Structure 1
Amino acid sequence: MQFRLFSLALIVLNCMEYSNCQTQSNRWRRNKRASYGVYPICKGCSVCSKDNGCVNCQPKLFLFLRRERMRQYGECLHACPTGYYGVRAPEINTCS
């Protein structure tokens, strides 16, 4: 009896997940998390573009170009990601 109820509950929960019953709540959470600044990708930028992300960073941050297929997006980071090293210059600090 208990095994049947447990298996029925698992089937119902699985069907709810695949039928996208919870799409509205997930969409609301995702938008709420990403809603900082003018554009979601412009955190720490001094100059930002809607299409390309950061063009110029604040003085102590590094500009990192993230490539996705044919596009590049600029991000301002406190430290360069693993595998990159920081290059400081008077005009702009970059990750190479």
Structure 2
Amino acid sequence: MLIKLDTISTNPKQLVTKAKRLDGSGVSLNELMPPRFIQMHSKFASLDILMEASGFNVKTPADFKAIPAREWNQFIALNTNFESWQDMLSEAGRLYIHKQLFT
């Protein structure tokens, strides 16, 4: 596999900048888990549809934080090929960073 060295040298700077936005938002979940990622790991077409199917009312970040972790992890385990939300986040993060560094 050929790796463009100029891509590796500039993309980490962009990645750090994106992760440390002034408003503290960092990378959005929809950016971290685009439709292709969700489709590969679940029966859903997008993260929004997956969240809607969960039965939890998720309109804001506060709504998402209010979901009981045990119930959310159970939903993720039953509806994706991940054992937990943390596993799903970790894989999405790994793929996101790889994409940022090498494309």
TM-score (structure 1 length as normaliser): 0.26
TM-score (structure 2 length as normaliser): 0.25
Q: Which has the higher contact order (CA 8 A, sep 6+)?
A: 2
Higher helix share: 2
Higher strand share: 1
